[in-house]
Structure 1
């Protein structure tokens, strides 16, 4: 990232070659169409190039930092255009399928099946808020608009939902 921050085009091309497929997968899960995903990915790469000097390795890994930028670019692209994120139920189904561990895998002492079971135990709107917030990076303000609830209510719902998930997972 230091080389990209110093405007080294070869380093940027190498970074692009190594990570563009993963970043495209991130934006494609958010965007409704492939065209919207491509537009969002292009915007993400412009942001990465223009803001590489802001990358702080003490805060996040390069991939985490770029993934966050890509997610935000996808959300911004959707807001600008006529396309929209799929309805909450579809987003939830895709998020459960695409972002959670596979049913047989273990993550921090829990299996993907346990996490899925606990998420599915939440009411659909609550599950949607949790997944949109923690899988897609939606802010509380964005969730407030999407679910037509005050920001304070969204904060409360997220907090209570996370407590319920923790309890369901046995306090893990």
Structure 2
């Protein structure tokens, strides 16, 4: 048994209680997970007030959908993180910021985007990731950032930068291979 297993089992049983309509259990799930889920929302949305609003939607979804959680398919924290990620991405896609980000990606694909520093966090691994990302060519770097850090699908990116889907997938695949080599060589 791993050290995390008791916490996992506790969260699973608490979600089961939420599925049965136990409000105290929902409050406990919130207390156990809100900091992590808020961080996900804030990272995707970039604004505290928006992240707080989306976080509220996340827990409404948890309240309404806890009965669909299957611990055989995913850990409870993975399930909750996916809900937070998807809600934040859905919100962002429905806002004008989505179009602005895609326009920036289009500009990068055509060599007209301004390069900027992205925030991957503050530890040594984040610095290594930043250096490795910065070493990539513009198209793979922008594609990877948009797909993995901003949640766009390959199809969306390909359509908005006006390249074939296969080209977008190649940019990402080659970029990820270069990233892996760079990180492995640290």
TM-score range, shorter chain: 0.7 to 0.9
Q: State the alpha-carbon separation in 1 of the partners of residues 92 and 153 from structure 2.
A: 15
TM-aligned CA distance change 1:161 to 1:113, over 3 Å:
same
DSSP-derived class of the 1:60 partner:
coil
Q: 1 or 2, which has the higher helix percentage?
A: 2
Instruction: Label 1:139 to 1:2 Cα distance change in 2 as closer, same or farther (>3 A).
Output: farther
Displacement after TM superposition at 1:152 (Å): 2.5
Displacement after TM superposition at 1:2 (Å): 1.7
Q: Does 1:51 align with 2:65?
A: yes
Which piece of structure 1 moves more, 122-131 or 151-160? 122-131
Q: Structure 1 residues 142, 37: closer, same or farther in 2, change over 3 A?
A: farther
**Contact 2:158–2:168 (Cα < 8 Å) also in 1:** yes
Alignment gaps of 5+ in structure 2: 1-14, 106-112
Tell me: CA distance 1:23–1:153, structure 2 relative to 1, closer, same or farther (3 Å): same
Q: Which residue pairs with 1:159 in the alignment? A: 173
User: Are residues 171 and 35 of structure 1, via their aligned partners in 2, closer, same or farther at CA, if it must alter by over 3 Å?
Assistant: same
Partner of 2:158: 144
Structure 1 77/113 Cα, relative in aligned 2: closer, same or farther at 3 Å? closer
Greater gyration radius: 2
Cα distance change on mapping 1:94 and 1:26 into 2, 3 Å: farther
In the TM superposition, what is the alpha-carbon distance from 1:170 to its structure 2 partner?
3.9
What is the CA–CA distance in structure 2 between the aligned matches of 1:134 and 1:49, rounded to whole Å?
A: 28
Of 123, 143, 146, the residue aligned with 1:102 is: 123
Residue 18 of structure 1 pairs with residue 39 of structure 2: no
SS at match of 1:63: helix
Aligned-residue CA RMSD in angstroms? Answer: 3.0
Aligned length: 162
Taking structure 2 as the reference length, what is the TM-score of the superposition?
A: 0.69
Deviation at 1:136, TM superposition (A): 4.1
Q: TM-score, normalised by structure 1?
A: 0.74
Name the SS of the counterpart of 1:169 in structure 2: helix
CA displacement at 1:15 relative to structure 2: 0.5
The residue that corresponds to 2:135 in the other structure is: 121
